[in-house]
A and B are shown apart, each in its own frame.
Chain A
Amino acid sequence: MAAFGSFALLIALALAAYNLLAGALALRLLVSGQPARFSPERLADTARRAGIAGFLAVSAAAFALIWSVFANDFSITYIMEHSNRALPGAYKFSALWSGQEGSLLLWAWLLGVFGFVLRLTHKTDVRLYAYAGTILAGIQVFFLAVLNFAAPPFALLKGAIPEDGNGLNPLLQYPEMVIHPPLLYLGYVGFSVPFAFALGALMMRYPGEKWIKVTRAWTMVTWLFLTAGIFLGMHWAYAVLGWGGYWGWDPVENASFMPWLTGTAFLHSVMMQEKRGMMKSWNVWLIFSTFLLTLLGTLLTRAGLVSSVHAFAQSSIGNWFVAFMLIVLAVCIFTYVLQRSHLKSDHHLESLVSRESSFLFNNLVLLTACFVILWGTLFPILSEYVVGNKVTVGAPFYNRVAVPIGLFLLFLTGVGPLLPWRATSFKSIRRNFVLPVIALWGTVIVCFIAGVRVWRDGAFSTGDFYALVAFAVSAAVFVAILSEFLRGAGVIARQTGRNLFVATWLLTRRNTRRYGGYIIHIGVVVVVMGLAGAAFNQNQEKELGLHDKLLIGPYTLECVGFTQDSNLNYNSEYALLDVYKGGAKQFQMTPEKRVYLASSQPQTMVAIHSVPSWDLYVVYEGTNPDSGQPIIKAFLNPLVGWIWAGLVVMVFGTFVALVPSLTPASAALRVPAVRTVPTEPALKGGD
């Protein structure tokens, strides 16, 4: 199977190279109009078919690796290092992305999937798709070259073949690890598609903004994958690493967050181009940057430039990535310089206080956040280079610098939709902002009544202050969005006589993109509320003998026993903890410590009881070597469940935004066009 896999990868590389060269030649002939011995259209079609065949070849290689994992073929180095006989089936599958070579193969395969779909739908716009397909082929050539020559997944083990493998890293033996990396990779790889379309459209001086409409669904789905991937990674860190948190500003986390920020900026500003023909150069560079950041993130974590607890796949492929990034950057700059006259804006901003400028400021803040994270991630390298002294840039730096920026962004999330297009007046601002401002100050008062204080133990608490601001701004943004829904729904309800619920449904169906976007913003608000809850975390650590008790928040944890278990994959120790609240037993928790046999590595399995107001999070830390007593650490983490709930809302909002809006004909069938109410409040925001 190793020979089959290697051969499939080689064929895939040859097909991708043909796709790139034949595609480029065909497009060159089509543009120049030079006579040729063969038809450029037919040549372009052979290139497209080579791309489809290339996808099949990469699929065959991926299949060969998965087959080898399940067949326990330890003659392959990768399988020996990342699997063992006792590894459960689901985790054997996830071995595909648990190491350097496998994850690059996954990347190439996903790129093949995206390319396959793109090439099958080429009739949408044959010329534009030919450009995009050829650019994707160029990216695929890079990944397949790395797989064939720098990080071959089917490399054979030298010497005697061992009876069993080293096993999968225990940190990765968790259900979410079966879906988190593929989602994240779908996000990373997916941005190759809008990048290819943007670069292709620029190369061919594509008229109008149709390419944006063509790629809108691609971009949104990609953004959704990246968002879901990041959140699942947070949940994995929360449930597996056992430190009670979910985001540590680790370089790997940062690497996934940076393209998310620029991708989010692109999703917003591209609407300006679509609607008003503005920010064309800006958008092109945003998507170029997003693609480059997906590569940079991979470079940072794979090349060993920065250390990370999340980096499971490190090697010396950094030079390959640097070279490829430089080539991509050179192509982008060259194309931009050559075609920049095509990117002249149709309109300019007319006022500092308008919907357009709110998009611009939103972009500015998102890019500043991206810069802060990039800066913090790279500063240790810079410091070592300049003063010869490596420093750590950890959570305290980001909490001081990035959190205020995040809160400002949240503020803009609420303000933007309240501003009308082109220009506004103080009167309009006052009218639209009354309710959100009331909500803001109302929340501040409620927080004070509930006991939130920015002074704790005689000192100013930055965390509590940020939490208070986050709660207040979140409430204001939520009210602002809700009032937008109610204004529009109120008009439709009056026009059609339907109730407010049906009117809201009709309103959303009439402009799914706008109101889907608002739902995503509500999801962001819910997430921010959950994040702000971290300011009020509590924790207790105690050695617990039999029937000893640990108090945390309203809960009392009583140790009722300890036990051990073992299977072919690991040995484990459990603590059995009865949890009481108000004197009555509520439930039992079983935090666990495992030692995996193949790797001899220990791993915590956190016990989490989640309710909307908080998570009770219990860790079995091991035993005290002096007393032999188990050590239990309990956390009470307020509002953590809101973070995951917010993701669900964001996913729902994205699906809504992806649904096509009602056409004028069908809208007319559902909503009678009553024109007797010309100045309804629903449109005041647009006045």
Chain B
Amino acid sequence: MANPLRFHFWMKTAQALLLAVAVCFSLGATDAGSRFNDLGHRLMCTCGCAQLLGECNHVGCPESGRERKELTGLISDGKSDKEILEWFSGKYGATMLAAPTTHGFDLVAWIAPFAVFAAALLGTILLVRRWSGLSGAKALGSAIDPENEDPEDRERREKIRRETDTGIDGGF
């Protein structure tokens, strides 16, 4: 039986870590150079080269030079990140933004991958537990006891081990 105090301690630690990570991710760049770099990587060059504005440097690009100057100007005007992104989006269209926004239908783009992963993970765990006929805790803790093991099972296990660990055509 797990110690409840210990469990509580680990839960609190996990919560604190999650909070710290969330705070870290929510902070943005501060000085002008960092902001230019950060925003330059959240905008696309509109010349059709499919590169980020901060990275587009192909010879003869007719757009990136002007757009970078606009970005520098907006940063020095003291506009916020949100205002700058909205300004570019308004002038050049939504395709100027390098990633979907986090509101409206765009939010679906961010949620769907994690939702699919979570659903698949949950489904797999439930399936394995159904197959094994054991609870998760029991499965995790069920070390094979060589003394009480069924001889037939032991033979099967040895056969698998021979085939897989030192066998001629064994897998991983």
Chain A bound to chain B:
yes
A residues with a Cβ closer than 8 A to B are 213, 241-245, 248, 250, 268, 271-272, 274-276, 307-309, 348-353, 355, 357, 359-361, 364, 367-368, 371-372, 375-376, 379, 383, 386-387, 389-397, 400-401, 405, 416-417, 421-428, 454, 456-460, 462, 465, 510-511, 513-514, 517, 541, 593, 602-604, 619, 621-622, 633, 661-664, 667, 682-683, 685-687
In the complex, which residues of chain A have a beta carbon less than 8 angstroms from the beta carbon of B12? none
- Cβ-defined contact, B131 with A275, below 8 A: no
Q: Can you list 11 A-B pairs with a CB-CB distance of less than 8 A?
A: A351-B134, A352-B132, A383-B100, A383-B106, A386-B105, A397-B99, A460-B24, A462-B25, A513-B171, A683-B161, A685-B165
Query: In the complex, which residues of chain A have a beta carbon less than 8 angstroms from the beta carbon of B117?
Result: 364, 368, 371, 405
Judge whether B160 and A422 touch: CB under 8 Å. Answer: yes
A686 with B165: CB separation less than 8 A? yes
Using Cβ atoms and an 8 Å threshold, which residues of chain A touch B57?
242-243, 541, 619, 621, 633
Q: Output the least CB separation between B144 and chain A (Å).
A: 6
Of chain B, the residue at the smallest CB distance from A507 is B166
Tell yes or no: B172 within 8 A of A by CB. yes
B48 within 8 A of partner (CB): yes
Measured CA separation A428–B42 after assembly (Å) = 46
Report the separation of the CA atoms of residues A395 and B43 in the bound assembly, to the nearest whole angstrom: 10
The residues of B that contact A359 with a CB separation of less than 8 Å are 172
B49 CB contacts on chain A under 8 angstroms:
309
B163 to chain A, nearest CB (A): 6
Closest to A270 in B: B171
A-contacting residues, B35-94, CB 8 Å: 41-42, 44, 48-52, 55-60, 94
Chain B: CB-nearest residue to A492: B166
Residues of B near A391 (CB, < 8 A) are: 94-95, 97, 100, 106, 109
Given contact pairs A350-B131, A390-B95, A425-B142, a sample of 9 additional A-B residue pairs in the complex whose CB atoms are under 8 Å apart: A353-B140, A376-B109, A383-B100, A391-B95, A392-B95, A395-B98, A423-B139, A462-B25, A619-B57
**A-B pairs under 8 A by CB, number:** 218
- List the 6 closest A-B pairs by CB distance, nearest first: A425-B143, A271-B171, A460-B24, A348-B131, A394-B98, A396-B99
Q: Are B172 and A514 in contact (CB under 8 A)?
A: yes
CB of B104, distance to nearest CB on chain A (Å):
7
Instruction: Find B172's partner among A271, A349, A619, A661 (CB 8 Å cutoff).
Output: A271
Residues on B with C-beta less than 8 A from A662 are: 168
> Cα distance A663–B112 when bound, in Å?
49
Which chain B residues lie closer than 8 Å to A425 at the CB level? 141-144
- Give the chain B neighbours of A428 by CB distance below 8 A: 143
B166:A511 contact, CB within 8 angstroms = yes
A364/B124 contact (C-beta < 8 A), A243-B57, A423-B139, A423-B142 known: yes
Q: How far is the CB of A196 from chain B (nearest CB, A)?
A: 23
- Among B105, B112, B113, contact of A387 (Cβ-Cβ < 8 Å): B105
> A427 and B50: CB pair below 8 A?
no
**Which B residues are CB-close (under 8 A) to A393?**
99-100, 109
| A261 to B134 CA separation, bound complex (whole angstroms) | 32
Contacts of B144 in A (CB 8 A): 422-423, 425, 687
A307 and B139 contact, Cβ closer than 8 Å, known pairs A349-B132, A352-B125: no
B14 at interface by CB-CB < 8 Å: no
Q: A349 CA to B119 CA in the complex, in Å?
A: 19
